[in-house]
Amino acid sequence: MKTLLTTLAIGVLLAAPAAAADHSGAWHSIEAKSSWSNGQLPKGFSLTLNLQFSGDTLTYRSLNDTNKDKPGGLTYSAKLDGTPSPIANNARFNQVVVKQRGPDQFEVLEMKDDDVIVGSFWTFSSDGKGFVRRGVGKDATGKSKAFEEVFERK
């Protein structure tokens, strides 16, 4: 009986999902480790993401100051369950869908009227010091490119 209980306890522990680390905080791009498939990653690529994970919600705030004269950004809050959430005051996107795929992995779809403009997968490192965002995005003309953007915790 003791062996059976021990086996059951081990099985429950192995089946339980791993606790997610808190990936909240400020993250900054590393230009030298980032790339776009079209070879046109802007010189001086500078993107800061402020992420707040709280319960089942992500609050995202970005600041792209690659062009110091005309910085841009994106702000939204979304559930982590794959349901669409609105993005206000943005010409490029009006919806976002975020789905947690694992303790350190997320799928993010930025959309305009149900059309995916950017689809990305985020993978946070187990040491909590960095993350990579990989995906495909369309430019204003509808032409797509793949990207890999590497970030480190500020």
Residue 5 tokens read as 């209980």
CA 45 to each of CA 60, 109, 144, 151: distance values in angstroms, whole numbers, following the listed order:
19, 22, 19, 11
Average pLDDT over residues 54-79: 96
* 7 pLDDT higher than 90: no
* 19 pLDDT higher than 60: no
Q: What is the pLDDT of residue 52?
A: 98
Mean pLDDT, rounded, of the chain: 89
The answer to whether residues 52 and 59 touch, using CB atoms and an 8 Å cutoff, is: yes
- Residue whose entry in the numeric block shows the structure tokens 């950004």: 73
Structural domains of the chain, with CATH: 24-153 (2.40.128.20)
The answer to whether residues 133 and 146 touch, using CB atoms and an 8 Å cutoff, is: no
pLDDT band, very low/low/confident/very high, at 106 (cuts 50, 70, 90):
very high
* 39 pLDDT higher than 50: yes
Note the Cα 60 to chain centre separation in Å.
Answer: 9
- Residue whose entry in the numeric block shows the structure tokens 């996107």: 93
Q: Which of 34, 28, 33 is nearest to 48 (CA)?
A: 28
Percent of the chain with pLDDT over 70: 87
Instruction: Give the predicted TM-score (pTM) of the model.
Output: 0.85
- Residue whose entry in the numeric block shows the structure tokens 């789905």: 99
The answer to whether residues 82 and 98 touch, using CB atoms and an 8 Å cutoff, is: yes
The answer to whether residues 117 and 92 touch, using CB atoms and an 8 Å cutoff, is: yes
Q: What is the pLDDT of residue 6?
A: 40
Average pLDDT over residues 4-27: 57
Rounded Cα–Cα distance for residues 75 and 50 (Å): 9
**pLDDT digit string (tens) for 76-102?**
999 999 999 999 999 999 999 999 999
Q: Which of 81, 21, 31 is nearest to 51 (CA)?
A: 21
pLDDT band, very low/low/confident/very high, at 20 (cuts 50, 70, 90):
low
The answer to whether residues 82 and 99 touch, using CB atoms and an 8 Å cutoff, is: yes
